[in-house]
Amino acid sequence: MVDCVGNQLDAALDVVCTGGRISLFGMNSHARPPVRQNTTTRNELTVHGAYVGVNTFPRAIALLERAVIKPSVLMSAVMPLERITDALDLLRSGSAMKVAISGSRSGS
């Protein structure tokens, strides 16, 4: 489980499998999730925090500009919001790596 938002540690503890790993690299100075030591210990979880190093973004941008990295190959599908359940099913089954959700719900 990866929290790249900075406020999903509590939710990650609810969904990660026994023996699983949680990677925290989202930054949110206002987030104050409870530390659930019993859950972490009982389920033998590993929680790892990581911070993006100096000069990481300029190098990543340069790789994208030179087309060394092609993120489009990671995109499995683009689906409308109305089909979010189908998108989640694809991800859960392993049939998709990344599904982008586009547009808004009809009538909203």
Q: Residue 39 corresponds to which tokens in the numbers above?
A: 């859950």
Taking residues 97-103, report their average pLDDT: 88
> What is the residue extent of each domain of the chain?
1-51
Taking residues 3-22, report their average pLDDT: 89
Dihedral angle at the C-alpha atoms of 31, 34, 39, 44, nearest 10 degrees? 50
Q: Quote the CA–CA distance of 107 and 33 in Å, as a whole number.
A: 35
Question: Tell me, what DSSP letter sits at residue 72?
Answer: G
- Say which residue the tokens 């009809």 belong to: 106
CATH number of 1-51: 3.40.50.720
Taking all residues of the chain, what is their mean pLDDT, rounded to a whole number? 86
Report pLDDT digits (tens) over 26-62.
888 888 888 899 999 999 999 998 877 667 778 888 8
